[in-house]
Amino acid sequence: MLVFHPATQKPELETAVLRYRYCPYCGKLLTGRPGREKIHPYCDGCQESFYRNPTVGVAVVVVEGDSVLLARRLGSYAGMWCIPCGYVEWNEEVRDAARREMKEETGLETEIGPVFAVHSNFHDRDRQTVGIWFWGRKIGGELRHGSDASEVGFFRIDALPDAMAFPTDLMVCEKLRHLIRSGSIPVWLASYPESEWT
């Protein structure tokens, strides 16, 4: 597994290092190979550099009036609330992933519309992600918690739970609060072609 050197204070100077020292393909000792800004582990035998990239996550923003749907988490950040979310799997299109995660966590069938927000998540330095928050609308199913949530429900945007799991969800909710207060959501949604909802 690739990790950032713990002694590094500045992200732009981080150096990717390995918890193991040998190539996972041929077993040869890895060396450092300078990249543009960081040193990447390199195998002379395979002529392969190894990178640690963030994982892609998806979330779905579902709104009813002035309330947003949230899920109370199990597993990591257990007991805290978040916008329903999960990871994109290998060979899975991001909108399909968003729809699947929504069904698994909330029981709702949703249509996935425009991208509402995109943020890098640095709250857990060892498990960095890039999150895509899609606008969604429910088209079926029954609201109930699923495998990754202990509870689901709508919360007024001005009365979110104190225990929110992710700083980026708070940023998304602040944007949502502004759009709800200004009455801009219908205009924003009207700019997205109906034919592109999936």
Give 155-167 as a DSSP string.
EETTS--S-BS-H
Long-range contacts, stretch 96-104, CB < 8 angstroms, 24+ apart: 97/58, 98/58, 98/59, 98/60, 98/132, 98/134, 98/136, 99/60, 99/198, 101/58, 101/59, 101/60, 102/60, 102/62, 102/136, 103/141, 103/146, 104/146, 104/147, 104/148
The stretch 125-150 carries a mean pLDDT of: 91
Give the CATH number of domain 55-192: 3.90.79.10
Q: Which two tokens stand for residue 29?
A: 């000792």
Residue 196 in 3-state DSSP? helix
Lowest mean pLDDT among 6-20, 139-153, 183-197: 6-20
Domain borders along the chain are 2-49, 55-192
pLDDT computed for residue 158 by the predictor: 95
Report the distance separating Cα 35 and Cα 99, nearest Å.
37
Tell me the average pLDDT across 139-146: 94
Compute the average pLDDT of residues 118-134. Answer: 88
The four Cα atoms 105, 106, 109, 114 give a dihedral, to 10 degrees, of -80
> Between the CA of residue 155 and those of 63, 69, 98, 102, what are the distances in Å?
9, 6, 20, 17
Kindly tell me if the per-residue pLDDT of 6 is higher than 80: no
DSSP 8-state symbol, 88 = P
> What pLDDT score does 118 carry?
96
Q: Give SS3 for 7.
A: coil
Average pLDDT over residues 162-181: 96
**In this predicted model, which residue has the larger pLDDT, 53 or 171?**
171
Q: Which residue type does 58 have?
A: V
